[in-house]
């Protein structure tokens, strides 16, 4: 399964923001996931851990609940979802950007009960301006967490 590329946020030259983990809960199972990639904007250092993706076996139509720690909730963050319909056809990515700076949870649902979620990613952002002017500010991805869904055995 391919990983999603935190589209919608510009990716920064990427050290880890710390051992922050995102918790994914679905279909009676939970997994805590460290970042796949994290970036220290000040030093422009990046750390990648391609093996950090969490995995859960989830039945079609089941929601995925996401819980983030305060270090993520207090920044802008984005949820991106890749899923297929009941016929196995890829559907348009679902994305939601959370900017309230106080939201610690999010629930991913699909439009139809036979849709199968494949990948859920959380991207944390920092807002930067190269000129110092607010109108020039842009969101820069500083870390990405990923859940890879394993469909149930037939």
pLDDT at 114: 96
pLDDT at 95: 96
Q: What is the pLDDT of residues 75-106, one digit of tens each?
A: 999 999 999 999 999 999 999 999 999 999 99
Question: How confident is the prediction for the chain on average, in pLDDT?
Answer: 85
Q: How many whole angstroms from its chain centre is CA 9?
A: 12
Q: What is the DSSP letter of 111?
A: S
pTM: 0.82
Name the percent of the chain lying above pLDDT 70. 86
Q: How far apart are the first and last CA of the chain?
A: 18
Give the mean model confidence (pLDDT) for residues 115-126. Answer: 94
């Amino acid at each position: 399964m391919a990983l999603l590329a935190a589209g919608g946020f510009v990716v920064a030259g990427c050290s880890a923001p710390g051992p922050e983990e995102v918790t994914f809960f679905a279909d009676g199972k939970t997994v805590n996931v460290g970042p796949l990639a994290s970036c220290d904007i000040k030093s422009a250092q990046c750390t990648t851990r391609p093996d950090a993706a969490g995995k859960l076996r989830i039945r079609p139509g089941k929601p995925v609940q996401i819980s983030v720690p305060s270090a993520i909730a207090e920044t802008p963050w984005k949820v991106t979802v890749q899923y297929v319909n009941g016929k196995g056809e890829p559907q348009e990515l679902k994305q939601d950007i959370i900017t309230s700076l106080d939201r610690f949870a999010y629930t991913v649902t699909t439009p139809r009960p036979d849709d199968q979620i494949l990948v859920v990613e959380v991207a944390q952002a920092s807002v930067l301006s190269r000129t110092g002017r607010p109108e020039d500010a842009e969101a820069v991805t500083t870390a990405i967490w990923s859940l890879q869904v394993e469909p149930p055995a037939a």
